[in-house]
Amino acid sequence: MASIFVIEDNRMLRTTYVAGLTGFGYQVTEAETVQEAKDYLEGNEPDAILLDMQLPDGTGEEVIHYVRQDLQRMAVKIVVATGAEVDVDHLIALGADAVLQKPIEFSALFSALNK
């Protein structure tokens, strides 16, 4: 079973993601801030991260940098989910594997996770 770490500050969206992913057999852990994400990632390596870009204490870019540069974890798939206009090429260059616009469809998420 694949493990997915959902980092999303909107409780309703986070609950939806967790319920949907769990229902499809994924093992899901969740966080709502950059600091919670860093604390979890220090000792855990999920298969994938579903990442919001605007968090209460920072940005998703900080998390991408932390995973790719500080932890040197290149195998972890990072899927960004954002409602903001973002520079997709910039996020891919930072280390994101896919960028999805909110509201995301689970079919698009599964496609991104399985690439």
Tell me: the pLDDT tens digits for 18-64?
Answer: 999 999 999 999 999 999 999 999 999 999 999 999 999 999 999 99
Two structure tokens written together for 46: 């999920």
In angstroms, rounded to a whole number, what is the distance separating the alpha carbons of residues 3 and 48?
7
In degrees, rounded to 5, the angle at the alpha carbon of residue 24 between the alpha carbons of residues 96 and 63 is 25
The pLDDT confidence band at residue 1, using thresholds 50, 70 and 90, is: low
Tell me, yes or no, if the pTM score tops 0.85: yes
- Sheet of 77-82: strand order equals 27-31, 3-7, 48-52, 77-82, 98-101
Q: How many C-beta neighbours within 10 Å does residue 83 have?
A: 14
Instruction: Give 68's pLDDT tier (boundaries 50, 70, 90).
Output: very high
pLDDT at 88: 96
Output the average pLDDT for the chain.
96
Average pLDDT value for residue range 80-87? 94
Asked whether the predicted pLDDT for residue 115 surpasses 90, the reply is no
